[in-house]
Structure 1
């Protein structure tokens, strides 16, 4: 069981992740990691000394090749519980959810094998108990 909660604000020191719901020309952008057969929303861990917006921009560029984009925060979120088959988060972990509109891309040089640009949400999620909830929250808040 996984529990996802949403917050209008949270102390920045608790934010460990940035997740970026992304679109280009009205289509969804998803990433496929080289070591997985599933798709996910771009995002990743915050590096030491990095502000969370910088994390979001860096992860979006690394995972999609985005070079020209707008990005804005949606809300903070937390996750606790069994996030996938291999990972169980016992403590509540916090992240910031963003929305980006991407206008141009370059070649990807990261752990991402490829990106998928599609009219529809994917069915084979890497984090099926988390990322669809993040997208639903973004819709509820008027970002999608």
Structure 2
């Protein structure tokens, strides 16, 4: 069983985070990626590496999985995912991408822009909650 919880941002040591997940927008559309060999869509993100802040993880993963060259990144909240009584923590980010480059050679095969949450998700019970939180958050961002 999977249980996802979201909590407000508070001081948490970066080494407590397993991953960063980013909900990005580009030209008014939501960015989702598809890994090589899969037919489902997911949000960009990945594992927090040693000697890296969680924000650096988000920046690296956003570039590696989307080719984003210029973007603004906003931390939203802490997510905890409990799968079969094993809990892990991640930091959820919202991003506004202003420039996309070529998709780097990585595990990502395709990037696609969507008007709304796609139906064919790799992790529907997790990404549905994270996406909805980011949509709510994005309504409070002031654009310059």
- TM-score with structure 2 length normalisation? 0.89
Out of 38, 48, 59, the position equivalent to 1:57 is 59
Which residue of the other structure, out of 91, 94, 100, is the alignment partner of 2:95?
Answer: 100
**RMSD of aligned C-alpha atoms?**
1.3
The gaps in structure 2 that reach 5 residues or longer are: 140-144
The CA deviation at 1:137 is: 2.1
For 1:2 and 1:10, locate their aligned partners in 2 and report how far apart those are by CA, in whole Å.
25
**Is the Cα–Cα contact under 8 Å of residues 10 and 76 in structure 1 kept in the other structure?**
no
Runs of 4+ in 1 over 6 A off after TM superposition: none
Aligned partner of 2:125 in structure 1 is 129
Aligned counterpart, 1:48? 50
Aligned mates of 2:134, 2:63 — CA distance in 1: 21
**Per the alignment, in what secondary structure is the counterpart of residue 18 of structure 2?**
strand
Equivalent residue for 1:116, pick from 82, 101, 112: 112
In the comparison of the two structures, how many residue pairs are matched?
136
Greater fraction strand: 1
